[in-house]
Structure formats: C-alpha cells, structure tokens
C-alpha cells in the first residue's frame, strides 16, 4: 500500500502544544507527497474542531438547561416557524432521520416544550410547534449558546472568521454537488 496514512498522535497538535488533556483526534499524514493529502488533512481538522465544540456545547446545555444538542437543534427550527412544522420537514431540516425525530418529539412533548397537532385535512401529517414555555426556554438557551460560541472563538479576529466562512462555502458546494451527482 502506497499511501501510508498514519494517524498522528492526538496530543501532538501540529500547531501548538498546550497541556495534555482530552487528546485530539487530528490525524496527520506523513507521506512524502504531502500535497496529495490536503483534503484528508482539512477533513480531520474540521472533524476535530467540530467534535471539541460540540462536546462543550453539549456539556453546557446539559448542565445549564437539562437539554441535549439535538433537542436544541429541533427547537431552533420550530422557533422561527410560529406555525410549527410537520415532522418530516423537521427531519429534513435537522438532518436527523424520521425515526429519530419521533423520539425527540416524544421527549420534548413530555417536557411540555412542544405540542403535536394533527392539523390539515391530511391525517397522516403531524405538526409540531413550540409551546409558550418552549419558546421562552429556547430563547434563553439561544442567547447562552451564542455567547458560548463568541467566547470560544474570541481569540480569532473577525477577518479570519469571515475568510473561513467564505472559503468553506466552496467546500460545502463541492461536497453537496458530488452527493447529488452520485444519486443519479
């Protein structure tokens, strides 16, 4: 096998060597033709950052609001749709499978944060919407959530943030178009 790809020892972040803790799964490739692996390297970096931040957000949501991240995501979608959304649409928007939405909705409903309604004339459809309590709770969570992110990224200047945002847009488009094509 040519590609000898070796996962780097987590702690040794090629950037900065901060203490030790919860190691990081950033992978590095030690290969002569390093240029060939830019995609892999970038992917591992994004994965690593996302895991670290998710972990932290998850922890804080749990500690401060007794909520989980998927629940927060689901509520976020409902927050901007006063009329509520059908479960299937919710599934699409949150990128969570149908079956999963059922369970999430069950828990949120039993906590009094959302309600299920069989609206429309179509009895197959179920619409979920935030209760008053749900809206208030979410509003508080969203404020905290936003502040956490600002805090976590506080050492990065706005210009860099904007730059990454723009460039990652290209990555997103590339990935998305590949997925769509392969569906043919």
Partner DNA sequence: CGATATTACTTTAGAGTTAAAAGATTGCGA
Partner DNA sequence: TCGCAATCTTTTAACTCTAAAGTAATATCG
Of residues 96-125, those binding a copy of itself (CB under 8 A): none
Sheet strand arrangement including 127-130 = 85-86, 127-130, 114-117
Q: Are 54 and 76 in contact (CB under 8 A)?
A: no
Residue from 24, 27, 37, 71 that binds DNA (CB under 7 A)? 71
Residue from 6, 59, 136, 147 that binds DNA (CB under 7 A)? 59
Residue from 8, 48, 68, 77 that binds DNA (CB under 7 A)? 68
DSSP strand pairing (114-117 vs 85-86): unpaired
Task: Compute the least distance from the CB of residue 59 to a copy of itself, in Å.
Answer: 10
Q: Are 138 and 79 in contact (CB under 8 A)?
A: yes
Q: Residue 8 interacts with DNA (CB under 7 A)?
A: no
**Nearer to DNA (CB atom), residue 29 or residue 105:** 105
Q: Residue 43 interacts with a copy of itself (CB under 8 A)?
A: yes
Q: Residue 22 interacts with DNA (CB under 7 A)?
A: no
Q: H-helix or E-strand containing 116?
A: strand 114-117
**To which residue do tokens 């991240």 refer?**
69
Task: Compute the least distance from the CB of residue 125 to a copy of itself, in Å.
Answer: 18
Q: What are the backbone angles phi and psi of residue 86, rounded to the nearest 5°?
A: -75, 155
Of residues 74-113, those binding DNA (CB under 7 A): 86-89, 91, 95-105, 107
């Amino acid at each position: 096998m040519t590609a000898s790809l070796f996962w780097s020892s987590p702690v040794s972040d090629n950037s900065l060597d901060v203490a030790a803790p919860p190691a990081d799964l950033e992978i590095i490739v030690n290969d002569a033709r390093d240029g060939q692996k830019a995609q892999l390297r970038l992917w591992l970096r994004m994965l690593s950052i996302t895991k670290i931040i998710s972990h932290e957000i998850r922890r804080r949501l749990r500690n401060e609001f007794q909520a989980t991240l998927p629940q927060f995501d689901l509520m976020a979608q409902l927050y901007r749709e006063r009329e509520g959304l059908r479960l299937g649409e919710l599934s699409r928007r949150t990128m969570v499978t149908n079956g999963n939405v059922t369970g999430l909705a069950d828990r949120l409903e039993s906590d009094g944060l959302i309600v299920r309604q069989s609206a429309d004339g179509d009895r197959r459809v179920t619409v979920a919407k935030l209760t008053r309590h749900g809206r208030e709770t979410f509003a508080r969570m969203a404020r905290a959530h936003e502040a956490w992110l600002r805090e976590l990224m506080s050492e990065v200047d706005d210009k860099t943030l904007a730059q990454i945002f723009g460039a990652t847009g290209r990555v997103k488009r590339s990935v998305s178009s590949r997925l769509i094509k392969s569906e043919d």
